[in-house]
Amino acid sequence: MDLPIVVGVDGSESSLRAVDWAADEAALREVPLHVLYASLWERYEQAVFPTGPERSERMLTDVLVVAAARRARRRVPGMKVTTEVVAAGPVPVLRRAASKASALVVGNRGRGGAGELLLGSVGLAVAGRADGPVVVVRGDADGQGGAPGPGRRVVVGVPGEPDATRAVRFAFREAARRRVPLEAVRAWHRPAPESTDFPLFTGEPADAYRQRAAETLEAVLRGPAEEHPDVDVHRRTVEGHARTALLDASADAALLVIGARHPHGRFGLHIGRVTHGVLHHADCPVAVVPEP
């Protein structure tokens, strides 16, 4: 049986857009949608939420989870939607859910009052620690959902390690489901002394680095491309920082996919600078796929 799409909700407008995106994704995959609320979310995000004797788990279910489920059913009539309220903090609850889901979907902002954060603390913590794919829904008010518009392609950041292919395979599957092109981006740069305008440090050395990036790109894509021969793949090497290249590519994309290695046994967020940057600034939903 295919695993469901799980969407974490907290009552914020951002999480409602995540519900829309998750419903579209579940329809594309032909799997159920599971709406999940960790009832201590607002304490984690330091949000203002009504308190009093009338507050109960039933109220939370009615106000948040049931409303989210109805929204999903309106968006995709006939979809199987289940709901769950867990009396626990959101990060461990969502991390566990991610390990049993096709993908975990969250909004890019919580209900917390930390206005300076471009990505809510829950979304950042889960994306940095989960053992399964996590999609942070960024982008326009419609969430750039499953139905692609003109030019809405899937973009994947290609790493330098030929064995890091989970994110690439995830991106191929997403492009195949949407029937859109896949843009594979590999960033490269020269060491600082070779980045000057002096003639002796330009030309052939730059060509060598560019060629190496192209060879790496081809090596990583070869296997997944053979598995998905119907996907139109656009290969692109870019001189510069990977974060900048991927943010530029996200401007008119349906989804940006990036791999992340999460070292076990370490405290703090297990997330690199590139992943951190695109989660905060991308113009489309971002899928973070853990690599072994």
Among 249, 280, 260, smallest CA distance to 121 is for 280
What are the tokens at 139? 């982008």
Q: Tell which wins on pLDDT, 153 or 159.
A: 153
Q: Which residues contact 180 (CB under 8 A, 6 or more apart)?
A: 148, 152, 153, 154, 254
Among 140, 117, 101, smallest CA distance to 22 is for 101
CA dist list (Å): 186 to 30, 160, 163, 231 = 32, 8, 15, 18
Structure confidence at residue 208 as a pLDDT band (50, 70, 90): confident
For 146, phi then psi, to 5°, come to -65, -30
What are the tokens at 76? 């995709």
For 42-81, write each residue's pLDDT tens digit. 544 444 444 454 455 566 566 789 999 999 999 999 999 9
The H or E element that residue 186 is part of is: strand 182-188
Q: Which amino acid is at 137?
A: V
Strands 134-137 and 33-38: unpaired
What are the tokens at 100? 């049993």
Asked if pLDDT for residue 145 goes beyond 50, the answer is: no
Strand partners, 82: 34
Q: What is the pLDDT of residue 184?
A: 97
Q: Which of 35-49, 107-121, 183-197, 198-212 has the highest mean pLDDT?
A: 183-197
Q: What structural domains and CATH numbers belong to the chain?
A: 5-137 (3.40.50.620), 153-291 (3.40.50.12370)
Cα 155 from Cα 170, distance rounded (Å): 11
Cα 271 from Cα 259, distance rounded (Å): 10
Q: What is the pLDDT of residue 140?
A: 64
DSSP annotation of 64? I
Q: What is the pLDDT of residue 240?
A: 92
In the chain, % helix, strand, coil (3-state, to 5) comes to 40, 20, 40
Cα 206 from Cα 201, distance rounded (Å): 8
Strand partners, 233: 182
Q: Tell which wins on pLDDT, 269 or 291.
A: 291
For 218-274, write each residue's pLDDT tens digit. 999 999 999 999 999 999 999 999 999 999 999 989 999 999 876 554 444 557 889
Asked if pLDDT for residue 114 goes beyond 60, the answer is: no
Structure confidence at residue 108 as a pLDDT band (50, 70, 90): confident
Q: Tell which wins on pLDDT, 87 or 178.
A: 178
